Structure 1
Amino acid sequence: MQIPYEEELCALADAVWETPEPGFREYKSSAAHVEFLKKHGFEVKTDVAKTGTGYEASWGSGHPVIAFLGEFDALYGMNQKADCPSYHPEDPDGMGQGCGHHMLGVGAIAAGMAYREMLKENGGSGTVKIFGCPGEESGSGKAYMARDGVFDDCDIALTWHPANFHMVCTGSSQSCIQACFHFHGVSSHAAGAPHLGRSALDAVELMDVGVNYMREHMEDSDRVHYAITNTGGKSPNVVQAEAEVRYLIRSATNPKCKKLYERVVRIAQGAALMTDTKLEVLFDEGLSNTVPNFALEDVIAKAFQTVGVPTYTAEERAYAKQFKDSFSVEDQLSDIPFGIADIMKLRENIKNSEICDYVVETIHTDHCEMGSTDVGDVSWVIPTATVNTACYSYGAGAHSWQWTAQGKSAIAHKGMIFAAKVMAESAKTLLEHPEEIKKAWDEFDKRLDGEKYECLIPKEIEPHVID
């Protein structure tokens, strides 16, 4: 399996690494993707689902329509000097590709281009679609796209994510809603006329206390996180008239997430009532739990074996070891994902190797991981599955400066190209064996059991940015 224009693709990923941008503002990254795709003969639609930076690139006609999902947004606080094995940000508050999305989008392009070559050789019916999906880290770009029917004409969606392991991603992920709770009070002199003031900060604090009391009465799989984004000022002798807190609410399914969110809203309303302040709730984002598809996972597992793992040079292993050594052995062994068929084999590989150098066998599971992704919304529309490939040393975890630092390395490039090959090989199987697509859809229909996709983002909310 060959990936066309491999050097250009690695250079494109590096260029995106150099210009990290937040969700819905990935202007340079999206433009670079679009320019590359147009240059190589794809028809490209931009501003998909009013996301501004989202795009849809297509080639071919007829079915099957295989979609490759990509991302390109970065993270605040993840700035880091490339290849440096110690924390060395050029701007501690700056952005960086701490989740590998600079490769994620390019890897999807690479897979789509390889699949296009197969369609050309096959000479029959078939369409490749490559989606640039903005705002995965914050904003839920794919949710807007799914809500607006962008994926409705596709048969299968394949995606990948940079990781520490070569493996099929299995299981589910949490539904998630994020909202800002802005309290409006009345300022006054805190000593001279406190009776005239109504403290918005008091309301924020009471809300936080109320939610913390709620934690005892949530399901074990529920998660609620918060950050006070506006404390109302720095003068304690002024009653704070404005204050805001941002909440992120997660649960195993959309209905459960909505109920938990409604409980949080009622607590906020109670805090406003207790402080005689006014409450404004600003809905930020919402994304759905992932619907697993074991049939597609089997296709990917077969593709892993067909393609075979990359080999690493002594120099690449020495490079990875610098980063691996920045973590304790205990930390490395504690970062084992769920669904592993042979945990002891993986533990031994972590102890004895600098980087994952074999395909980790997984067991099908419906287990819900404690995290969220807007890939879940796509999985409610069409059968969807995810490839993981090792782009980083053992020990380093997602949303870390270590991932940013290794993002332009040879092992990162190898992981990206490997993922593209596995996705393209999976697409080849689906093209040559349409019964595999039917099996994926049969499972999809059985899992949904008549339930229809309902986006967690209200219809009146459009893609937006909340800093």
Structure 2
Amino acid sequence: MAKSDVFARVDEAEDRLTRIARELWETPELGLHEEQSAAVLRDALEAEGFEVESGVGGMPTAFVATYGDGDPTVGILGEYDALPGLSQRVSADRDPVEPGGPGHGCGHNLFGTAGVGAALAVKGAIDAGEVDGTVAFYGCPAEETLVGKTYMARAGAFDDLDAALTWHPGDLNTPRMGSSNALDSLTFTFEGVSAHAGGSPDSGRSALDAVELANAGVEYMREHISDDARMHYVITNGGQAPNVVPAEATVWYYVRAPTREEVERNTDWLRDIAEAAAKMTQTTVSERFLTGCYDYRANDVVSNVVWENVRAVGPIDYDDADRAFAAELQATVADERIESRLSDLPDELADRVRDEPLYADPVEPFDHDQQTHGSTEVGDVSWITPTGQFRGATWPVGVPGHSWQVVAANGDFGLKGVAFAAKVLAGATYDLLADEERLAAAREEFEAEIGSDAYETPLPDDAEPPFDVTAMGGE
């Protein structure tokens, strides 16, 4: 038996996988509220004999589905949360299905489905005696708020893996070798005293003043942190009427930096600023730590296995109609936005793809030394076990993620990317299960670069999954 049988199993299931991905696209759900999406994926695995554990990490929509017996164990990560405000029909014009509703502007309807397809294909290889060991599918909710994998990691969900594999929709078919920023997400709520802002302001203490002073402190702080560090904030509650001194106000911060250590230093500084703002305004302040994540570290051995399979599976079979619709979507994006995306690529690659609405060929890894300023909780997994990931070309070249154009693509020609990604994931899982020497080499690299005891959850003991937070925030 050959690995081609694994690819053939994906081909046989392609229509079913496409239907599942379309169902998720038609019923987009926000992070930690993906009840229907998680159930569809979970049920598909359970019906095929996978043992399913639900409610992992205190999140009802998080689950782990395993099949096989004993070591080694390779995990496949899947996501399925949508983004707020991006509802969109399959159209080259802005046309929401539900104005203000959610939409799959990051392709997670494809993401989770491909992982399920890969796990089922590997199950067939285990049943046929082609490989030994266990395949595990991880249903990871709330990536867009950088919550799911971090809380699953705190629960020890990834501790027994020999390797982890994942992917993400995008505009190129290529492994990801570069790093990402670590992150903390937290809010500060200030409590003051309400009063008539015109009649007796002296009897009030403004919580909004405290928020504004804290933000001013962050602006001055920016000069003294590293160039690659980032601080973002929004005021989520600033009062209700100008003539009432706000008794309560809340500000939400993201703290990003290339390393976990730098994030923690900057977060501690931010806490000092918040306390100082409270003292200056004679208010009190409380912190709510929502989530935190590590920087991503690609494992070269596992990533090379992924690249071998990206090449083996070959280009996605897009047709002229797909390319025509992609070109229509691409035309709705300003040229400078597309060029901004292309500026991240090597010059030769940018020139090669610039005039292509869809670029379906495999692209050799190019980002080994790149530090992206976004964040992903795949980083946490990569600090626990050797991890590899890749991108699949499911939307037009240069079109930014988290856009309505991506939603339209993921409900149309992007669906063809599900089988491609499932084959790459299944093939890489097969290779790792079948080759103990490669897994040993991956572990040796991991121990040398990270170490088995390096990961400590960034979550405080009392942190709970933030079910009330649904704003976008992922990479």
TM-score, with structure 1 as normaliser: 0.95
- SS of the residue corresponding to residue 70 of structure 1 reads strand
- Match of 2:415, as an amino acid? H
Quickly say closer, same or farther: Cα 1:107–1:466, change in 2 above 3 A: same
Deviation, structure 1 residue 316: 1.2
Deviation, structure 1 residue 124: 5.0
Quickly say closer, same or farther: Cα 1:385–1:337, change in 2 above 3 A: farther
Which of the residues 373, 378, 381 maps onto 1:378? 381
Equivalence for 2:144: 137
| 1:196 maps onto 2:203 in alignment | yes
Residues in 2 aligned to 1:294 and 1:38: alpha-carbon distance in whole angstroms: 33
Equivalence for 2:52: 44
- Asked if structure 2 preserves the Cα contact closer than 8 Å seen for 1:24 and 1:139, the reply is no
- Asked if structure 2 preserves the Cα contact closer than 8 Å seen for 1:288 and 1:455, the reply is no
| 1:102 maps onto 2:109 in alignment | yes
- Asked if structure 2 preserves the Cα contact closer than 8 Å seen for 1:97 and 1:404, the reply is yes
Residues in 1 aligned to 2:13 and 2:242: alpha-carbon distance in whole angstroms: 60
Quickly say closer, same or farther: Cα 1:319–1:188, change in 2 above 3 A: same
- SS of the residue corresponding to residue 158 of structure 1 reads strand
Equivalence for 1:229: 236
- Asked if structure 1 preserves the Cα contact closer than 8 Å seen for 2:146 and 2:376, the reply is no
Deviation, structure 1 residue 241: 0.7
Residues in 2 aligned to 1:208 and 1:349: alpha-carbon distance in whole angstroms: 41
Residues in 1 aligned to 2:106 and 2:361: alpha-carbon distance in whole angstroms: 22
Deviation, structure 1 residue 125: 2.3
Residues in 2 aligned to 1:413 and 1:91: alpha-carbon distance in whole angstroms: 21
- Asked if structure 2 preserves the Cα contact closer than 8 Å seen for 1:23 and 1:139, the reply is no
Equivalence for 2:73: 65
Counterparts of 1:160-175 in structure 2, within 5 Å, are: 160-175=167-182
Q: How many residues were matched structurally?
A: 461
Deviation, structure 1 residue 366: 4.4
Percent pairwise identity = 38
| 1:348 maps onto 2:317 in alignment | no
- SS of the residue corresponding to residue 342 of structure 2 reads coil
Equivalence for 1:22: 30
- SS of the residue corresponding to residue 117 of structure 2 reads helix
Equivalence for 1:430: 432
Give per-residue Cα distances to partners, 1:44-93, cap 9 Å, x unaligned: 11111211110111111122211100011111121212x11122224443
- SS of the residue corresponding to residue 333 of structure 2 reads coil
Residues in 1 aligned to 2:419 and 2:158: alpha-carbon distance in whole angstroms: 25
Residues in 2 aligned to 1:454 and 1:98: alpha-carbon distance in whole angstroms: 31
Which of the residues 283, 287, 290 maps onto 1:281? 287
Deviation, structure 1 residue 464: 2.8
Give per-residue Cα distances to partners, 1:252-284, cap 9 Å, x unaligned: 111111111111111111111111111011111
Q: Which runs of 5+ in 1 are unaligned?
A: none
Residues in 2 aligned to 1:450 and 1:47: alpha-carbon distance in whole angstroms: 26
Deviation, structure 1 residue 123: 4.9
| 1:462 maps onto 2:464 in alignment | yes
Equivalence for 2:326: 320
- SS of the residue corresponding to residue 173 of structure 1 reads coil
Residues in 2 aligned to 1:457 and 1:163: alpha-carbon distance in whole angstroms: 30
Deviation, structure 1 residue 9: 1.3
- Asked if structure 1 preserves the Cα contact closer than 8 Å seen for 2:74 and 2:163, the reply is yes
| 1:367 maps onto 2:370 in alignment | yes
Equivalence for 2:410: 407
Q: Which moved more, 1:238-247 or 1:92-101?
A: 92-101
- Runs of 4+ off more than 4 Å: none
| 1:307 maps onto 2:313 in alignment | yes
- SS of the residue corresponding to residue 245 of structure 2 reads coil
Counterparts of 1:124-273 in structure 2, within 5 Å, are: 125-233=132-240, 235-273=241-279
Deviation, structure 1 residue 189: 1.0
Q: Which moved more, 1:66-75 or 1:38-47?
A: 38-47
Equivalence for 1:439: 441
- Asked if structure 2 preserves the Cα contact closer than 8 Å seen for 1:356 and 1:390, the reply is yes
- Match of 1:456, as an amino acid? P
| 1:357 maps onto 2:365 in alignment | no
- Asked if structure 2 preserves the Cα contact closer than 8 Å seen for 1:166 and 1:389, the reply is yes
Quickly say closer, same or farther: Cα 1:53–1:181, change in 2 above 3 A: same
Give per-residue Cα distances to partners, 1:370-408, cap 9 Å, x unaligned: 111111111111101112110111132111111111111
- SS of the residue corresponding to residue 93 of structure 2 reads coil
Deviation, structure 1 residue 462: 2.4
Residues in 1 aligned to 2:218 and 2:66: alpha-carbon distance in whole angstroms: 46
Quickly say closer, same or farther: Cα 1:93–1:407, change in 2 above 3 A: same
Q: Which runs of 5+ in 2 are unaligned?
A: 1-6, 470-475
- Match of 2:297, as an amino acid? V
Deviation, structure 1 residue 329: 4.0
Deviation, structure 1 residue 16: 1.2
- SS of the residue corresponding to residue 228 of structure 1 reads strand
- Asked if structure 2 preserves the Cα contact closer than 8 Å seen for 1:168 and 1:388, the reply is yes
- Asked if structure 2 preserves the Cα contact closer than 8 Å seen for 1:184 and 1:242, the reply is yes
